[in-house]
Structure 1
Amino acid sequence: MPIITCVEDLRLLAKKRVPKAFYDYVDSGSYSESTYRENSAAFQSLKLQQRVAINVDHRSTASTLIGQTVTMPVAIAPTGLAGMQWANGEILGARAAERFGVPFTLSTVSICSIEDIARHTTAPFWFQLYVMRDRGFNTSLIERAKAAGCSALVVTLDLQINGQRHKDIKNGMTVPPRLTPANLLDFASKPGWMWRAMSGARTFGNLAGHIKGGDGVIAISKWVASQFDPTLSWDDIAKIKQQWGGKLILKGILSAEDARIAASLGVDAIVVSNHGGRQLDGAPSTVDALPAIVDAVGDKVEVWVDGGIRSGQDVMKALALGAKGTMVGRAFMYALGAMGEAGVARMLQILQSELDVSMALSGVSRISQIGRHNLFQRGSNTPVTRMAHTSFEAAIPA
Structure 2
Amino acid sequence: MIRLEPFERDPVRRRLAHCHDLDDLRRVARRRTPRAVFDYVDGGADDEISMAANVEAFHRWRFTPRSLNDVSSADTATRLFDRPAALPLVLAPTGYTRMMHPVGEPAVARVAARRGVPYTLSTVGTTSVEDLAATAGHPDLWFQLYVWKDRKTSWELVERAAAAGYRVLEVTVDTAVSGHRGRDVRNGLTIPPSLTVRTVLDLGSRPGYWTRMLRSPGLEFANLTGANGVPGSVTMENMADQFGPVTWEDIAELRRRWSGPLVVKGPVGPDDARRAVDAGVDGLHLSNHGGRQLDRLMPPIDTLPDVRAAIGDDVCVLVDSGIRHGADLAVAVALGADAGAIGRAYLYGLMAGGIRGVDRALELLTAQFTRTLQLLGVSSVQELRAHGPELLRREPR
| Shorter-chain TM-score above 0.5 | yes
Deviations 1:166-187 (A, max 9, x none): 1110000100111111110011
Query: Quick one: distance in 2 between partners of 1:148 and 1:223?
Result: 29
2:311 to 288, 297, 300: 297
Distance 1:213-1:55 versus aligned 2 partners, 3 A rule: closer
Q: Which residue is equivalent to 1:105?
A: 120
Identity %: 41
Query: Quick one: distance in 2 between partners of 1:344 and 1:72?
Result: 15
2:222 to 200, 205, 208: 205
Deviations 1:155-201 (A, max 9, x none): 11111111111111000010011111111001111111111112144
Distance 1:255-1:214 versus aligned 2 partners, 3 A rule: closer
AA aligned opposite 2:119: F
1:156/1:251 contact within 8 Å kept: yes
Q: Which residue is equivalent to 1:267?
A: 281
Q: Which residue is equivalent to 2:373?
A: 359
State the 1:372 CA deviation.
Answer: 7.7
Q: Which residue is equivalent to 1:15?
A: 30
Task: Name which of structure 1's ranges 301-310 and 249-258 shifts more when overlaid on structure 2.
Answer: 249-258
Does 2:184 align with 1:168? Answer: yes
> How many residues matched?
380
Q: Which residue is equivalent to 1:136?
A: 152
Q: Which residue is equivalent to 1:395?
A: none
Q: CA RMSD for the aligned pairs?
A: 1.8
2:185/2:237 contact within 8 Å kept: no
Q: Which residue is equivalent to 2:209?
A: 193
User: Unaligned 5+ residue runs, structure 1?
Assistant: 378-382, 390-398
SS in 1 for 2:190: coil
2:57 to 36, 42, 55: 42
Does 2:340 align with 1:326? Answer: yes
2:86/2:116 contact within 8 Å kept: yes
Query: Quick one: distance in 2 between partners of 1:326 and 1:200?
Result: 33
SS in 1 for 2:62: coil
State the 1:223 CA deviation.
Answer: 8.1
Does 2:130 align with 1:115? Answer: yes
Does 2:390 align with 1:387? Answer: no
Query: Quick one: distance in 2 between partners of 1:357 and 1:281?
Result: 34
State the 1:214 CA deviation.
Answer: 7.5
Does 2:268 align with 1:251? Answer: no
Does 2:190 align with 1:182? Answer: no
Please show how residues 12-161 of structure 1 align to structure 2 within 5 Å. Answer: 12-124=27-139, 125-161=141-177
SS in 1 for 2:63: coil
Query: Quick one: distance in 2 between partners of 1:108 and 1:359?
Result: 35
Query: Quick one: distance in 2 between partners of 1:144 and 1:272?
Result: 26
Query: Quick one: distance in 2 between partners of 1:47 and 1:376?
Result: 11
2:296 to 254, 257, 282: 282
AA aligned opposite 2:395: M
AA aligned opposite 1:186: D
Q: Which residue is equivalent to 2:252?
A: 238
The two structures have a TM-score, normalised by structure 1, of: 0.91
SS in 1 for 2:265: strand
Deviations 1:313-371 (A, max 9, x none): 00000011111111101101111111111111111111111011010011100100114
Distance 1:297-1:190 versus aligned 2 partners, 3 A rule: same
Q: Which residue is equivalent to 1:393?
A: none
State the 1:22 CA deviation.
Answer: 1.1
